[in-house]
Amino acid sequence: MSTQNAKTNSLGNRIRELRKSKSYTLRHLAPLVGAGFSYLSKVENNRLDFVGSPSVSLIHRLADVLEANEEELLLLGRHVPDSLANRMLEHPETFRVLGNCDQTQFLLIVKTIQRKSSSLNH
């Protein structure tokens, strides 16, 4: 993933987009999620000092207040959602195989699953 693409698809950018869609300022959002506005600014600008992303609990509160998909925010924050973690624990060998695929193989598998899923839903 390119540096530009990583920045575009960052948790901070997504939170900023969601916040602005609600017409919230950082100062308005901060007390709603129990965080300081300066900390939220660091999150939005991908400038956290010691860790790469906010806690799971803050991401949960942000998803709730901003009416966002929590799994999307968790993944953007490099956290594994419980639903995915549980599936990984149920089928560890499958995830080891997926982890060893190169990008081309992985995308082919994803497209195959999407086609199968689409045909099941029709």
Per-residue pLDDT reduced to its tens digit, 54-66? 999 999 999 999 9
Domain that holds residue 46: 3-79
Q: 61 and 107: one domain?
A: no
70 contacts 56 by C-beta, under 8 angstroms: no
Global pTM value: 0.78
Q: Do residues 39 and 10 share a domain?
A: yes
Closest CA to 55 of 32, 39, 66: 39
C-alpha to C-alpha distance for 40 and 44, rounded to whole angstroms: 6
Kindly state the helix (H) or strand (E) to which residue 105 belongs, with its residue range: helix 103-120
Task: Indicate whether 85 belongs to any domain.
Answer: no
- The CATH number covering residue 36 comes to 1.10.260.40
What pLDDT digit, counting tens, does each position of 38-82 carry? 999 999 998 987 777 899 999 999 999 999 999 999 999 999 999
Residue 26 in domain: yes
In a domain, 19, yes or no: yes
Amino acid code (one letter) for 99: G
**Which phi and psi (to 5°) does residue 54 adopt?**
-70, 170
